[in-house]
Amino acid sequence: MRPHNKYIECVKFDEFMSSLTLWVFSNPAASYLKLLEQLPAETNIVTGNTDELFHSAPDPDAVMIGFGQGALLQKQWPRVSRARWLHSFSAGLETTLFPELVESSIPMSNAKGVFGRSLGEFAIASALYFAKDFRRMMRSQQEGKWDPYDVVELTGKTFGIVGYGGIGREAAQRAKAMGMRVLALRRHPEKSADDPHIDAAYGMDALDSLIEASDYLLVAAPNAPGTQGMIGEKQFSKMKPDAVVINLGRGPVIAEDALIRALEQRRIKGAALDVFDVEPLPAGHAFYRLDNVLLSPHCADHTPGWMDESMQFFVENFHRFANGEPLQNLVDKRLGY
């Protein structure tokens, strides 16, 4: 009998055919894989990030797709398609989904909401950064200059959220605690009828109205069909001149050229960005030079152990799968989230 949940790269699989087989598309040296030791002892785990490794493995019952493993998933699709459950280690699915997967009946879950606390904090930190003009404060300190100036309170300001999922809810809770008026935009606003953290929920057709009302606009929508460029020139023209845009969803949801023009022309106060069209952001990009941009290199949720948190969520979901219980964070593959 093999040791409990030992990560295996090359074994004789025929002796394990009666137990669940889990394929994990990931660097086998990743430290978070140690959490797989919590899976049932009889689980057959095949871990790797090369195509050859899985040739001699038994067909999977479940597959966990790690960061950047979309190509391997697609290459292994003839075998993966026999699985009964797929899980994405990340929340975003734009590099994971492909037509055959979308059309399949295999249930799929992801890590949405796992990183929400830190991102909710970053959203409020971004609002405070511009409200208190921390850039000016730090510049004056570095220059040794005594430079009093007026600051803005968040209390009473309107915090609009485009995409009210896990990130949006965490940000809403914190914005409400700051005394802000919170508005949320989501596909099914009726699901937020009794949400104590928001003042009103709107459907997608109210995007422009929400934008016009917002002093701080959090964009937390996924990169999915229908969301690319949903915040564009028209939307920037409707924003308040002192509005701040905060993007913690995906870069392509905001039309980048339109955002740059709005920032350069000072039509809005600023933008706090953690996600971009192209990552890493190319050298010489306008966002690096604009003094009304707070730029985070897609690390606003990189707290100590953040990958362990995502793996722990998968482990808990695997126990549900093994016990025939409902899975958490099931996604609509056609919608892309």
Residues taking part in catalysis: 250, 279, 298
* Residues 134, 218: Cα–Cα separation, whole Å: 19
Specify the DSSP element, H or E, that contains 134: helix 134-143
DSSP type of residue 59:
P
Query: Which class for 42: exposed (0-12), middle (13-18), buried (19 or more C-beta within 10 A)?
Result: middle
User: Exposed e or buried b for every residue in 280-319, given b needs 16+ CB within 10 A?
Assistant: ebeeebebeebeebbebeeebbeeeeebebbbebbeebbe
Place of tokens 């249930």: 107
Interstrand relation of 293-295 and 270-273 (parallel, antiparallel or unpaired) = parallel
Query: Which class for 161: exposed (0-12), middle (13-18), buried (19 or more C-beta within 10 A)?
Result: buried
Q: What number of other Cβ atoms are within 10 A of residue 15's Cβ? A: 11
* Residues 49, 201: Cα–Cα separation, whole Å: 42
257: Cβ contacts below 8 Å, ≥ 6 apart: none
* Residues 145, 147: Cα–Cα separation, whole Å: 6
Residue 160 near residue 211 (C-beta atoms within 8 A): yes
SS3 54: helix
DSSP type of residue 13:
G
Query: What are the tokens at 248?
Result: 């913690």
